[in-house]
Chain A
């Protein structure tokens, strides 16, 4: 048994698939590609595969991670080519890496996530954005396990930067705490930012990457 990690992107309308649907799409593509994925034992065997983290419905990403267990070593180059031929438009595997350290699950290793928030239309003030991130605390009512609780989200915003500005749009890159110990969902941050700015335009969000303690998670696992 060998484990491999796929770095993939999901874009366009396929980003509206749920976690389980996306999993099914990968299972089918892996079968079409004849990748020898291992199965669980028992009356209802299923493929051994998992995502590092669930992705919100409607969130496009260029940095998702999928881990699979296979019964024999893969030819990385050839597998990359075959799997991409068998994925529907909107999904693409960018890199495949063999995992050498498998003590911890990807989910357990995950610490941070980076996102682009592009503000399009409306009136955008850089000063106001600075003011937003300069706050010492940002208290919100956040829904967790079906009840709303007050939560200070500021400690979970690890970094921010305006990376692009044009006449029509402004893009802020943020790094948020992600994982089992501390987690901030990007749509919660977006909501807070939009309310603070009184922004009336569109906000497009893209997940850029998933990080471990030091580096991109895909780099940390080998």
Chain B
């Protein structure tokens, strides 16, 4: 049955780009009825439909809550600006795709925090959803509870003012417990939670839950930051160091086998089969490599079963074996073989989105290219051995050349190389290294394939220091420095007949990303001001308003450079020190020191490197499905 809101929305659809983004009704979307469930949650992804529907975390939580609990989870995404304007004119509030329920009518609203530049979209969605933006303005029995989770939740301080609580770590552990608790606090008459403070105290006792309002930043007499602490009056009532939640047995953990199949094309429109979580390499710039540790694998049997159900339940023609490093999966070859044997004749292809730079990965890629041939991407990350050792990217030039040779010999013609600029300790010789390595790769490609017109894509991103990494102390290169380095690459690599296509990210956005990633609570005021001045979709070049950001910064007397370029001292308090994601700060600092020396750290599956993310007591440990010998 169509409700009034749906009728109003349909009137707008002929006027917007890609109306399929706004209609819901996809295969496998939940058939539960909002009004017949004891508690409702809106899962908000602060970006447009195609991006949101490419996100595995959404599918996991959506399936888990809708299949395994009595509650309902519906989806709410950010409308593209054309639709946003029309909705505003027609006074249509932001609504859910399943039941066309206004966002403000959900007792619980959860945002996934995937990248810092999506923060303004969170505020925009609350605004057009008619939900008070500041947590302190959302009263008991009157407003939804707003929660957040995802990778950026490991330092959520810049957005603390907008959220009632954050889920740190694996959400499938903490979210069902949280909803069960919330059900007990639901006032059926108002449809919102009552006694929010009591609720938050109980919630803060669930592992993985952080209530920012219970903590305060301390500033010392000289005006500098002295750490964030649990408030006096809450001592003893809630843990003073919120700890991340983690799935201990990934093989037994819930995984969705009936994911929603988008009607319009999502960016990743395919089956996502998660083979493992975590990563045992210690690339020193990588946050995901730390915060999802330790490595936990699913069994071959489980994955083949899940793969079969997913093929049957979705109708997709591509299975992506996802993880931070799929070639590391101890059963990867038998898994690919098993899937290929079953699905090759049905023209279902396998894709490997995250391959290492080595011959083994090329051999894996050869196994999957029977159905559809895609491009090949390698990520050496840096141009010289010196720099690769500093970031502990276990790649040698020999290894890269061997991998490239294998790829070209096997017939790949489209190859992409990923690098980072502005890494700690980088010098101009490392930039030259990027150029030399790329040219070498191209020459090899032309020689092996015998084609003079093959081209090589070189993609260069700017290093952004992230919390809970060995580089968390290090300041980012200035925008000018990044642009200078990009200029060196541009003049050296591109030009007629050179055969190299260079792409790099806008440097201002990287600076803002760095500011927000390592930021403090003061930034909430900035984000609010920027939002009020009309910024949204900041990660989209066509909507990013650099001047508006700068005007807000100036108005509030803040400097993005000060945040982004700040290098912390060993004993400085970091804005995220009060959160415990399990890693020891000493370990991170030791890794930072090793980087300065150019010392490398081995894959921790070969022997413990002391990060302390495994925890014998609670049973959190590396969980492999087969032997690993390096």
Contacts and interface: CB of A to CB of B under 8 A. Distances in A.
A31 interface: yes
A29 B2 CA distance: 24
B347 A88 contact: no
B35 to A, nearest CB: 19
Interface of A: 12-14, 16-18, 20-21, 24-25, 27-32, 39, 43-45, 57-58, 86, 88-90
Contact of A32 (B14, B19, B314): B314
A25 B263 contact: yes
Nearest to A45: B347
Contacts of A20: 265
Interface stretch (B23-31, B242-250, B289-297, B564-572): B23-31
Q: Which of A14, A16, A18, A58 has the most CB of B within 10 A?
A: A16
A44 to B, nearest CB: 6
Given A28-B316, A29-B315, A89-B25, A14 B263 contact: yes
Given A16-B20, A31-B315, A31-B317, 19 more contacts: A13-B13, A13-B23, A13-B25, A17-B19, A17-B20, A18-B18, A20-B265, A21-B20, A24-B263, A25-B27, A27-B317, A28-B261, A28-B315, A29-B315, A31-B316, A32-B315, A45-B347, A58-B13, A58-B19
B372 A44 contact: yes
B373 interface: yes
Contacts of A28: 27, 261, 314-316
A13 B25 CA distance: 8
B46 to A, nearest CB: 23
B14 A14 contact: no
A8 B503 CA distance: 45
A18 B27 contact: no
Given A13-B10, A14-B263, A27 B19 contact: no
Contacts, number: 74
For A14, A20, A88, the residue with the greatest tally of chain B CB atoms inside 10 Å of its CB is: A88
A169 B82 CA distance: 32
B87 interface: no
Given A14-B23, A16-B19, A21-B20, A45 B371 contact: yes
Nearest to A13: B23
Contacts of B314: 28, 32
Contacts of A25: 27, 263
B313 interface: yes
5 contacts: A14-B23, A14-B263, A16-B19, A31-B315, A88-B263
The 9 closest A-B pairs by CB, nearest first: A28-B315, A13-B23, A31-B315, A16-B19, A32-B315, A58-B14, A16-B13, A43-B373, A17-B20
A58 B16 CA distance: 11
Most buried by A among B2, B264, B265, B373: B264
Interface string B231-266: 000000000000000000000000000000101110
